[in-house]
Amino acid sequence: MNSATFSVHRGPMAILARLSRMIMPAIVLFWLAMAFFGHWVAPYDPAGIQDADLFEGMSRKFWLGTDYFGRDMLSRIIAGARYTVGISLMATSLAVTAGVLLGLAASAIGGFFDTAISRFLDALISIPSKMFGLVLVAALGASIPVLVLTLAVIYLPGCYRINRSVAVNVAALDFVAVARARGESTFYIMIREILPNMVGPVLADFGLRFIYVVLLLSSLSFLGLGVQPPEADWGSLVRENMPGLPYGAPAVIMPAIAIASLTIAVNLTIDSAFGRHAREGIR
């Protein structure tokens, strides 16, 4: 575990590590709260054009400046959290639920079912995720339900692979053999015997998968192929404000920093909760 390696060393690194263990989960919770309750705390209407210049800098009135229409950037980022966090949460939940169920089924049923589904999903992993996303969006368009399904499908194979390997290890233990000998059904063995023993790895995988989904969604939106205007997630906010880059407008860099703060915070929260080795073997 990480905590062990950190506690051996004293001094500034240890203080930094302890601080990050407290701050990182707080950042994750903050963005979750913004996604669900942000519209109550946003200072302005995210779509309302304010009495301001375009691409204004940071000020007391507009904390994060204004965008290319003169709209308040802070309010737009808070509104964007709903799309970035919401879509990613839905897609990750779908991918992880399907991955866990398929992995459980493969480990409990085994045989041909296991081989067939493993071969198929492993072959899907050989399509790079951005490429997969581009092809799916080209074929199906970019409405929000399609985006959620697209992201879930892209990350399902990796999710299945990791959950299957965890489930197979649990399924080889004695108490599962006992349950089989008792004559329990396959479904009972999946849900009541194996699943409770893989909660930790599933949660760690959920967190890492969430990061990849956020990054891919943001990239698609940045390319103009994700969330479509007038709705805007953080990736779209970066894209629509790109003309402000030569002026060094905060409107470009702030949504990008919001994405980085979310992904880094989730990453480090998983590290301190599950240990750095949780990440190994996950793609």
Nearer to other proteins, 36 or 247 (CB): 247
Burial class (CB in 10 A: 0-12, 13-18, 19+), 27: middle
Our CB check for other proteins shows the closer of 94 and 190 to be: 94
Q: How far is the CB of 74 from other proteins (least distance, A)?
A: 18
DSSP 9: S
For residue 85, what are the CA distances in angstroms to 51, 113, 118, 141, 213? 30, 35, 30, 21, 10
71: which strand partners? 49
Least distance from other proteins to the Cβ atom of residue 76, Å: 17
Q: How far is the CB of 257 from other proteins (least distance, A)?
A: 7
The residue among 176, 203, 204 whose CA lies nearest residue 191 is 176
Q: Alpha helix locations (H) across the chain?
A: 2-8, 12-41, 73-109, 111-125, 129-140, 144-171, 174-182, 186-188, 199-222, 234-240, 250-274
Residue 25-64 contact track with other proteins, rule CB under 8 A, x = bound: ----------------------------------------
- One symbol per residue from 227 to 266: x for binding other proteins (CB under 8 A), - otherwise; what is it? --------x--x---x--xxxx---xx--xx-xx--xx--
227, 87 in Cβ contact below 8 A? yes
Sites for other proteins among residues 117-176 (CB under 8 A): 123-124, 126-131, 134-140
| Residue whose CB is less far from other proteins, 198 or 255 | 255
The binding site for other proteins (CB under 8 A) comprises 13, 123-124, 126-131, 134-140, 211, 215, 218-219, 222-225, 235, 238, 242, 245-248, 252-253, 256-257, 259-260, 263-264, 267-268, 271
